Structure 1
Amino acid sequence: MSTVNIKKIIGKVHLWLGLTSGLVVFIVAITGCLWVFQDEIRTWVYKDRMYIDPPQDAVRLPLTSLIKDAQEKLGEQYDLERAYYPTAANETVYIQFRKFNEGDDKTIYWYGDYIDYFYKVYLNPFTGEVLKIEDTKWEFFNVVIWTHFTLLLPYSIGHEIVGYGILIFVIMLITGLVLWWPKNRSAAKQRFWFKWKQTTRWKRKNYDLHNILGYYAMVFALVIATTGLVWSFDWVADSVQWLANGGKNLKTNHSVPTIPLTESGQAHRVDSVMNTMFIRHPDARYFYIRFPRKPESPMSINATMGHHGYGNYIRYQINPYSAEIIEESGFDDLNNGEKAIALNYPIHVGSILGIPGKFLAFFVSLISASLPVTGFMIWYGRAQKKRTKRSTTKPLPKTLLTANH
């Protein structure tokens, strides 16, 4: 089979896979753009709920007191789930209440059915004043991230569609490179940069946007797409760990410890646990607390020492009734495969390289979102051209048709 025929087949594969997955790729990529700078945007847009002017010589209230204030303000019918407790004096605490539907309460048709409720109650840690009750279920960035990995469909359906859509996108990037590859040097000169003139038509510009931007973004887009697939498919996550561990399957037992049910009637010693955390980590930037959902489950706390939650945290499993530390682990305790998975998120959003990395992820995601659009326009333009040619082809005269018979 000749090279021309192979490229023709690859071109057909590229076209039909693109038409199949284009809408999914566009939605996932554009929501990825919106998500990249969500930390920076939140601190600006939500500063009234996230920051305060701390009073002089004031003492922080116990976490149990803040939880009580939040629960009373929101309503006793909502289940406590998590708490974010920063150590900076000018930052607020938030208490989180959330409940998922597993199909027992009502039929799940979309995201609005999947999450029953999701609230964050922001409080002044010194006075207990409730600054904001945020309906996080419909908060902009929360809707963005759920659109990003479920398309606002039921989780089991949307997560699968996104996963396979991105898997197709990876194939598209590879086949796109094959189609882009020039035959010779003179052809290559036309494919590395835009050589537009005033007379250049929009079809040519659209074609160049698809090919040239796609070429420069390809490697970075592959990284972002592959790190996304880690969350979509277990076999991708297992493969990443296998490679990072040097071709070995190293499975560490991370089973969640259970609490003796004989202690379940006791009250949670949350304030005692937090006192221990402050003593152990006076340099912590924040503590992220996950409260147990079952009587036999432990309390989980992340003590994070910097602005980024990777590589500089200690994770605790704690008996909430006795305040005893059951398990303590950090980034350095992970094997190489587990470290690769832990770094998956900061690589995915570019934050592993700081603000420059976020800008890179933003523009790569923006280009990725443009590729289905420019690709569709290329296909549509060619299809229209073929239809025009067919419609303008003159039929044979009737006399000739009669003579042939």
Structure 2
Amino acid sequence: MSKKKQKKKKYTFRKLLNDLHLWLGLGSGIILFLVCLSGTILTFQTEIKSLFTEELKVSPKQGELIAIETLQQNLEKEGAVTGLTLPEDHNKAYEFKVKISPEDRRGTTFYINQYTGDYQQLGENPADEFFFTMFRMHRWLLFDSAIGRPIVGIATIIFLFLSISGVVLWFPKKKIRWKTLKPGFKIKWSANWKRINHDLHNTLGFYSCLLLIVMTLTGLFWSFDWYKDLGSQVLGTQVFGGRGGPKIASETKAESKTLELAEIINISNQNLDYPGETSISFPQDENGIFSIRKYESGNWSPNTYDMLVIDRDGKILKKELFSEKPANVQVASLIKPIHTGEIFGTFSKILYFLACIIATSLPITGTIIWLNKMKKKKK
């Protein structure tokens, strides 16, 4: 009897890609699961924390608006007042930063009712510890930063490869046409659980791939200095560096009179004439200045702001409008909100939240697919 020679299957590029996708996914699965899970939880941390914060009730019906200097003087008995945030909404309390001790570097937040003068210190939020733990897991896997940072960085690079290779493998082996592409756009819920699991991995992974690639590309800025430097070179401007530019000193004499806070706010409103939230940092010494940021309420992103630097005598030392910055500088300054999903407010947060849930499920569904194939081979 003549033996028929069996033709060996060629080891194609697609097969190589599939093997790399499989084994890199299995090897990094637990790390990616933890990083993506913590990222999902952190998406709405601000909104969740606000549920545990006792708000100071404010209403214009409570009386006449008290002078801003009077409010500032009321808080000076608590410590040195270093800053102020004026909300656009008249039903929200003013927010002051007060340095209550030499160790209090960033200042303690105090909310004050601008119609009654009542104020309260922002206490500890019961959700703070939980979210800080999630932050440490997301950035360092709860290890020391020197250990966890590179581990998460390497896992992020692997996830970037998995996302791109997953898109390539999503396309059918056969000739690409609508008939062969159509099944990849939907989940066949009427099929058995193995097919449903495969579709959950394949289809949901495809739908979320663009956002996941954006998250990984921006996330690497926190993992590796070489990546941050390379990204800065590509963008043509420094990422995470020189925030606010060079330090600006006062041009007035030390004995010169400092304008009242109300006058500084008036100058700010004249130069940034639009509705929005205003944050003001006060001068801390004789060379200090007023640094102002204003967030326009109707802007395309809640994370963009215009900046003013006003000297103690009212002179404008610097005016920086976000819309007039070069495109590369705008992108560099928005790396963080692009990564976290805050870039377009609630809308983009919801999209990121859904993408993160899918990303968290991918290591699980991918492992189940592999286990099912192993069982099939044994049979």
TM-score bucket (shorter structure): 0.7 to 0.9
**Which whole-Å deviations, capped at 9, do the CAs of 1:237-264 have from their partners, x for residues lacking one?**
66666666xxxx4679832224589849
Matches within 5 A, 1:1-400: 4-38=11-45, 45=51, 48-49=54-55, 51-55=57-61, 58-62=64-68, 65-66=71-72, 69=75, 72=78, 76=79, 82-96=83-97, 119-135=108-124, 139=128, 143=132, 148-151=138-141, 158-184=148-174, 188=181, 190-197=183-190, 200=192, 202-233=193-224, 249=236, 254-259=245-250, 263=254, 270=261, 272-281=263-272, 283-290=274-281, 298-306=289-297, 313-319=305-311, 321-322=312-313, 324-350=315-341, 352-353=343-344, 355-379=346-370, 385=375, 389=378
SS in 2 for 1:49: coil
Determine the C-alpha separation between the residues in 2 that align with 1:67 and 1:34: 40
> Using a 3 Å threshold, how does the CA distance of structure 1 residues 327 and 176 change in structure 2: closer, same or farther?
same
Unaligned runs of 5+ in 1: 100-104, 106-114, 393-405
- Offset of residue 219 of structure 1: 1.7
> Using a 3 Å threshold, how does the CA distance of structure 1 residues 250 and 347 change in structure 2: closer, same or farther?
closer
Determine the C-alpha separation between the residues in 2 that align with 1:32 and 1:90: 32
Determine the C-alpha separation between the residues in 2 that align with 1:229 and 1:302: 28
- Offset of residue 373 of structure 1: 2.4
Aligned partner of 2:58: which letter?
Answer: I
**Which whole-Å deviations, capped at 9, do the CAs of 1:317-368 have from their partners, x for residues lacking one?**
344x545432210113311200122344454455555544333222112111
Aligned partner of 1:317: which letter?
Answer: V
Unaligned runs of 5+ in 2: 1-7
SS in 2 for 1:377: helix
**Which whole-Å deviations, capped at 9, do the CAs of 1:117-173 have from their partners, x for residues lacking one?**
985332222333224523259537853556544555555655554444323211111
Equivalence for 1:402: none
State whether residues 259 and 297 of structure 1, in contact with CA within 8 Å, keep that contact through their aligned partners in structure 2: yes
> Using a 3 Å threshold, how does the CA distance of structure 1 residues 62 and 356 change in structure 2: closer, same or farther?
closer
State whether residues 351 and 358 of structure 1, in contact with CA within 8 Å, keep that contact through their aligned partners in structure 2: yes
**Which whole-Å deviations, capped at 9, do the CAs of 1:27-56 have from their partners, x for residues lacking one?**
44334434444565566x368516522335
Determine the C-alpha separation between the residues in 2 that align with 1:379 and 1:116: 52
- TM-score, normalised via structure 1 length: 0.69
Aligned partner of 2:29: which letter?
Answer: G
Q: How many residues align?
A: 361
Comparing 260-269 and 341-350, the one that deviates more? 260-269
Equivalence for 1:112: none
Determine the C-alpha separation between the residues in 2 that align with 1:380 and 1:243: 42
State whether residues 299 and 317 of structure 1, in contact with CA within 8 Å, keep that contact through their aligned partners in structure 2: yes
SS in 2 for 1:274: helix
What is the percentage of aligned positions where both structures have the same residue? Answer: 28
Determine the C-alpha separation between the residues in 2 that align with 1:180 and 1:300: 51
SS in 2 for 1:287: strand
State whether residues 35 and 141 of structure 1, in contact with CA within 8 Å, keep that contact through their aligned partners in structure 2: no
- TM-score, normalised via structure 2 length: 0.73
